[in-house]
Structure 1
């Protein structure tokens, strides 16, 4: 869409404009919007701009003629508009402060995520030679995470900006542990039960360390012998856990049964319904979700929104329906990592979901007038914007893709809202 330079004195209600300013230099929620009333007109003129950019395709009317006389405003109306402008500026400052605090929280969250990932690598490296030490360290890691999870009623799930490659087992295991813990908490489980679930989730795929890398990274369909070998990872995970007598018995069914399906079509034993351990059923749902987002063949990866929809629509017969519904509720309709189009047609990246306000995630906005590292993050609960639809990242224009940087690998971590 073409942007036309337009003198400020030609503005009128109904024009869609873009301000030639940084987001922090004006009181409006966005850098571009449709002028809806006299107050917005007054605010724009008070910014001492000589011009703005007009977007005709989005405007409901045409600009005023060049020689138009400005509409007279009474002293009383002028004072009222000035007071409203001051309120908007105060609100904008609050939003800017909120954005700073939010980014600090995300930085803290990313540090915790990186620390947990490093600890998990250390644990896995010791599981064969020093199993008791490995399990003890795993207990410490899980206890720290569960304590953080349980200390607040208001927990935000954040999208992590990880850059590591070829460490799929660690990212996947930590992802499954994080989401399983939050799911268990949402289900009202005790801290002790959540710890057992977290330990099982962290170790559920460790048996893959004994599966040849060529099988794990194969992107074409596995042969039957290869598939049989891969399926042995549940047995191997259990064997590794049994090396340490301190590994909780309550966690072991998760290692053994996270590929069992309630309709009996799973493995290794083909268990059905209640024959499958309840905690294993919970982790199975989360494991299926994360695997859809990160399959062996990257070209088949689903965006988080699509992965949740696919599970809910096509796998109800195979997974615990209560846990699937709870996962949708926990992640929000548009989980972190989803690229979305808003009601003003602007694109953004969902970067966190507040579990107490699932329909109003925090969205990082694409705005080419703002540097990507300063891009505004909008809390949809506080504004009029809504999400209209999810957008596949591979359908984004290159400049939008580079700006939003949708992750190839979707990793999550949580942060209690202080």
Structure 2
């Protein structure tokens, strides 16, 4: 008798209770066996992080009541949590965040390149990018962030836009905003600095302090961006408002129009907050210190939104350099459900014995935030402490 053909389903249809078979050789399978009974949401999230588009259903929920008789011992269908190498999966998840982030940046570059020559094509490409970002945002019930590295010595307009989109979308999600509103926030974030393309490189890339004239010219970029994007007539007002007013503050001290909170739409307020945080991060080179400065400048932003940003980033945001209670030093790589227990890439003082650690599973605490200047050259190299800090969504939720 011919073997019964197994039902093939996309990863989006995975539910607890199914027993599934992965279309992978055992050497690429983190579960070590190919037939897994789904008993925990974390198993589903792990499968979604693999380089596959579908699985085969073996049994469950009467989808396929007859289990293949050639199946190996029934007990091997059960996957105990301890059999899964979570650290390997976390590293894979970080690589996926990196890959997705780089793709988003490349897509952004294509969008920017078409703003004048092909505005309709730009609109289509930007809508596709936003859908990708939204899908990655809602992959998990809670939003987790990963540190990503684009190999840049300085922050580009496109990488900055993607990182702002991630932060702003995370805040909007915590604020229970609709998918439609989050899409506007995502696209407004991607395009918010597009006006800088009209600013001469000599000003935009200047390493020394800008002159008063240069500062004033730089401050025209929101208006330049608004003019550039609005002329197509394709982009809705919320997106255009974000482009024009992402430097406005609630106390009226921002630009270009000196608006106060009541005149600034909530979507624009969220992008302004994310943009301000990223600017402080670039200035102070410390994610936690940048958060502290935001708290001190409470008049600039809505207190509720700032609290949501803190919830999103955690007490120790990705990129923060820390010292642990066991004298190891490290850099925060991923946020977790426990704000004081992120996943950390650690080493000893000289930079040796690097490893990824799940503080959430250890009786070890972060005792202090440290500065790059206190690290040895070996530790700086191991922790890549000089790299630009950018964020992307992470689907790994342990």
Residues 89-148 of structure 1 show CA distances to partners (whole Å, capped at 9, x for unaligned) of xx9x94981111111111111111111111111111111211111121011000111022
Tell me the CA shift for residue 165 of structure 1: 4.2
- Which position in structure 2 is the counterpart of 1:77? none
- Does 2:320 align with 1:338? yes
Residues matched between the structures, number: 318
- Which position in structure 2 is the counterpart of 1:255? 243
- Which position in structure 2 is the counterpart of 1:408? 387
- Does 2:311 align with 1:311? no
Q: TM-score, normalised by structure 2?
A: 0.76
- Give SS of 1:363's match: strand
Residues 142-179 of structure 1 show CA distances to partners (whole Å, capped at 9, x for unaligned) of 01110221232033210012213466111111111111
Assess, with a 3 A threshold, how the Cα gap between structure 1 residues 259 and 95 changes in structure 2: closer, same or farther.
farther
CA distance in 2, matches of 1:383, 1:196: 40
- Does 2:108 align with 1:120? yes
- Does 2:328 align with 1:352? no
- Give SS of 2:123's match: helix
Larger radius of gyration: 1
Tell me the CA shift for residue 369 of structure 1: 10
- Which position in structure 1 is the counterpart of 2:260? 272
Preserved contact between residue 352 and residue 379 of structure 2 (Cα < 8 Å):
no
Residue 346 of structure 2: which of 350, 353, 365 is its match?
365
- Which position in structure 2 is the counterpart of 1:396? 375
Preserved contact between residue 168 and residue 271 of structure 2 (Cα < 8 Å):
yes
RMSD, matched Cα? 2.1
Assess, with a 3 A threshold, how the Cα gap between structure 1 residues 145 and 187 changes in structure 2: closer, same or farther.
same
- Give SS of 1:406's match: coil
Residue 189 of structure 2: which of 185, 201, 220 is its match?
201
Q: TM-score, normalised by structure 1?
A: 0.72
**Where do 1:185-264 residues align within 5 Å?**
185-264=173-252
Preserved contact between residue 215 and residue 222 of structure 1 (Cα < 8 Å):
yes
Tell me the CA shift for residue 257 of structure 1: 0.9
CA distance in 1, matches of 2:161, 2:375: 30
Preserved contact between residue 161 and residue 407 of structure 1 (Cα < 8 Å):
no
Preserved contact between residue 181 and residue 194 of structure 1 (Cα < 8 Å):
yes
Preserved contact between residue 342 and residue 386 of structure 1 (Cα < 8 Å):
yes
CA distance in 1, matches of 2:133, 2:159: 16
Assess, with a 3 A threshold, how the Cα gap between structure 1 residues 338 and 113 changes in structure 2: closer, same or farther.
same
**Where do 1:144-163 residues align within 5 Å?**
144-163=132-151
Residues 184-213 of structure 1 show CA distances to partners (whole Å, capped at 9, x for unaligned) of 111111111111000101111000000111
